[in-house]
Structure 1
Amino acid sequence: MKILILANSDVGLYRFRKELLQKLLEEEHHVFIALPGGEKVIRMVQMGCAFIRTEIDRRGINPANDIALLKKYVHIIRTTDPDIVLTYTIKPNIYGGIACRILKKRYIANITGLGSALEKSGIIKWIAVFLYRLALKEASCIFFQNAANQKKMHAFGIKGKREVRIPGSGVNTDEHPFEAYPDKSESVEFLFIGRIMKEKGIEELMNAAEYVKISCPDIRFTVAGECEEDYQGRLEEAQQKGILTYLGFRDDVHTLIKGCSAVVLPSYHEGMSNVLLEASSGGRPVLASRIPGCAEVFEDGATGIGFEAKNVESLKKAFLTFISLPYEKKKEMGLRARKRMEDRFDRAAVIQAYMEEIRRAGKEGKDELI
């Protein structure tokens, strides 16, 4: 079969879905990837994928840009003539789904998160709801990464022909092996890895870190990620004050996880947090918002500590609680976190779910031709 994949990032597609790409190629499917350029594109092309450059304004709401993206998708689908289309993230899901409906192509969508538009009120929210309904109505399957997102979509009247829940993108436990916990003599280091933006909780993180450093000056805070909003100056100022270390974008995620005591994610909303999965697989406790997409990953008090999203006081308390834990307890949390990933979140299960749905969609196509 010819399989077209629509995504918004080469890094995301490669880091979280390269095993699926490899499986498709091993089964001798022709795989096309349509997404913006980037360093990981070369690796996917070397694997055997055909690349189609497709620029996406990921966070913008410019109608002209979005219409241009829809037209681009229609052109790509017409020229590649795929048997099935896989879409990831919000704009590929919406405009890729609409393009598939226009051209009567089978498609499978993955809801990696609802995004800020559906979390707010006003006209933007209802435009997003309308577009989602239009885009996903004829999807052969919609993959949901958590029950809350699925329930919310249903409340908005957004449904596909078939729905399957998967454990996010899963985690490759071989690429993120268990790592021995840092030595007892080392200072506790909290690590944030992610896009630097308000909805990832970066403001709460900086405020809580500043407070904790007053009473616990030896504690270290490290932030890694690309600024998608205007936080560069504030992060640099915080670094000059000795509150945190800002590394910018880093590709060596596992190395950073290996060196930390715990990973922190104060996010407002998630599909299923990949960084929490990877941290847990590496044997690190996590401190995370008690929100859908984070709460499923960790067991509060056993493999991590939860706190309320958008709440600096709650985050401060979580930091201080973790710091006060005995060294052996921190170490034990990491061991339990790894076991949880092996038992519940192995990426092989996600690949299997995709292959089953692709085969199902392919069989439906053959049945229609008879």
Structure 2
Amino acid sequence: MKVAIVLNTSWNVYNFRMGLIKALRENNHEVIVIAPEDEYSKRIIDTGCDFHKVKMDSRGANPIKDFALIFELYGIYKKTRPDVILHYTIKPNIYGTLAASLLKIPTINNVCGLGTVFLQKGMVSKIALFMYKVAFRFPKKVFFQNNHDYELFIRERLVRKRISDILPGSGIDVSHFPALPFKRNKRFTFLLISRLIHDKGVIEYIDAIKQLKSQGVDAQFQILGAKDPKHKRGIKLEIIDEWINSNIIEYLGTTDDVRQFINKADCVVLPSYREGTPRTLLEAASSAKPIVATDVPGCNNVVQDNFNGFLCRLKSSEDLAEKMLAMMSLDDQKIELFGKNSRTKVEKEFSEDIVISRYLDSLKELNI
């Protein structure tokens, strides 16, 4: 079977979908990758995949502008003639599905998260909901990454329940993120891994740090992730530079391998406004780290309050600061237990093997 995988960045394919791609090829499927071209595209090609570039802006939502994607993807699908298409992220899910429907190519979609457009109610949000409702008449299967998104789509009648199911995110290769022996830093270290955009709760993290420092708390506060000032919700470079220059945070830049930074941290923090199933938290949990995150869809899938971390209120820097202080005030035994619980939870619920198995089963059910 010829399987196409469509995503909004080559980076996303290379970092999160290569395990699935490997499994597909081991099961004698031919894999086509369709994504915007970036520095990771060549790495995908080097693995032996047939790669086709597409123009797609992953930063913003402009339904009128993005409508042209239908015709571009239609051209690629008509040329490559896949037997089935796996769509991920909002734009491939909507515009890719509509393009595939014109060619009568079956699709399996994955709602990785609802994105910025659903955080603010307005005309764009209404258009997006309408586009989902139109597009999701056609998939053979739609996977969601958490119960909240699944229930929202069913409640709003955006998708038929009989074709819908829930997956544990993109899954995590637990062997690639091993649990290392517990070791606490002399200076407790918090790490936020995220693009520097508002919706990830970066401002709340900074405000919480300022509150903790004003109380005399001596800890290390780090951020690892790309600056993205061109994003509609991106944080301006001059603001980030001010944080760095005033020593509010230690900015670690970007990396192709987050493990070295996760392993050196005592606690991973993500005060995000909403997620599908956040990859960074899966990586942290697999590495046996305790977590502080917001009590919102996606984050509370991975973090169970007072089991493997603490959950804080949405957009509350005060509550975030309180939970961060509570974390660093725990004794070594409790922090180590939280870390072990994180690892156990990931192994049981979020292993990449679970995700891959479900996709392979779904392909068999298509009977192509």
Where 2:190 maps in the other structure, the secondary structure is: strand
Q: Report the TM-score, using the length of structure 1 for normalisation.
A: 0.94
Contact 1:88 1:109 in 2 (8 A): yes
- Cα offsets for 1:245-292 (capped at 9, x unmatched): 112222221111001001000000001111111101001001000111
- Cα offsets for 1:15-37 (capped at 9, x unmatched): 22111000111122111111112
CA-CA distance at 1:303 after TM superposition: 0.6
Contact 1:22 1:47 in 2 (8 A): no
| 1:236 lines up with 2:241 in the alignment | yes
Contact 2:312 2:323 in 1 (8 A): yes
Pick the aligned partner of 2:305 from 300, 310, 314: 300
Distance 1:39 1:59, change over 3 A: closer
CA-CA distance at 1:67 after TM superposition: 2.4
* Number of the residue aligned with 1:350: 355
* Number of the residue aligned with 1:177: 178
* Number of the residue aligned with 2:200: 200
CA-CA distance at 1:210 after TM superposition: 1.2
Task: State which drifts further: 80-89 or 241-250.
Answer: 241-250
Aligned residues: 362
Pick the aligned partner of 1:334 from 335, 339, 344: 339
* Number of the residue aligned with 2:156: 156
CA-CA distance at 1:341 after TM superposition: 1.1
CA-CA distance at 1:55 after TM superposition: 2.1
Counterpart residue identity of residue 129, structure 1: L
Contact 2:182 2:336 in 1 (8 A): yes
Question: How many angstroms apart in 2 are the aligned matches of 1:180 and 1:112?
Answer: 32
Where 1:315 maps in the other structure, the secondary structure is: helix
CA-CA distance at 1:92 after TM superposition: 0.8
Contact 1:181 1:284 in 2 (8 A): no
Question: How many angstroms apart in 2 are the aligned matches of 1:358 and 1:43?
Answer: 26
| 1:106 lines up with 2:111 in the alignment | no
- Cα offsets for 1:151-174 (capped at 9, x unmatched): 111222211451121111111100
* Number of the residue aligned with 1:136: 136
CA-CA distance at 1:138 after TM superposition: 1.3
CA-CA distance at 1:63 after TM superposition: 4.5
Q: Percent identity?
A: 33
Task: State which drifts further: 147-156 or 274-283.
Answer: 147-156
Question: How many angstroms apart in 1 are the aligned matches of 2:183 and 2:135?
Answer: 47
Question: How many angstroms apart in 2 are the aligned matches of 1:203 and 1:119?
Answer: 16
- Cα offsets for 1:163-210 (capped at 9, x unmatched): 1211111111000001223345x2111101111111100110111111
Question: How many angstroms apart in 2 are the aligned matches of 1:151 and 1:343?
Answer: 23
The runs of 5 or more residues in structure 2 that have no matched partner are 229-233
* Number of the residue aligned with 1:219: 219
Task: State which drifts further: 227-236 or 87-96.
Answer: 227-236
CA-CA distance at 1:91 after TM superposition: 0.6
Counterpart residue identity of residue 359, structure 2: Y
Question: How many angstroms apart in 1 are the aligned matches of 2:362 and 2:152?
Answer: 23
Where 2:85 maps in the other structure, the secondary structure is: strand
* Number of the residue aligned with 2:58: 58
* Number of the residue aligned with 1:368: none
Task: State which drifts further: 228-237 or 250-259.
Answer: 228-237
* Number of the residue aligned with 1:32: 32
Contact 1:236 1:246 in 2 (8 A): no
Task: State which drifts further: 103-112 or 296-305.
Answer: 296-305
- Cα offsets for 1:207-241 (capped at 9, x unmatched): 11111122244201110111231332222211211
RMSD (CA atoms): 1.4
Distance 1:98 1:224, change over 3 A: same
Where 2:113 maps in the other structure, the secondary structure is: coil
- Cα offsets for 1:33-58 (capped at 9, x unmatched): 11112233222222221111112111
The runs of 5 or more residues in structure 1 that have no matched partner are 366-370
Contact 2:281 2:291 in 1 (8 A): yes
* Number of the residue aligned with 2:79: 79
CA-CA distance at 1:64 after TM superposition: 5.3
Contact 1:197 1:231 in 2 (8 A): no
* Number of the residue aligned with 1:275: 280
Where 2:121 maps in the other structure, the secondary structure is: coil
Where has structure 1 moved over 4 Å in runs of 4 or more? none
Contact 1:201 1:268 in 2 (8 A): yes
- Cα offsets for 1:78-110 (capped at 9, x unmatched): 001110000000111111011111221100000
- Cα offsets for 1:116-170 (capped at 9, x unmatched): 2223222111110111011111110000111110111122221145112111111
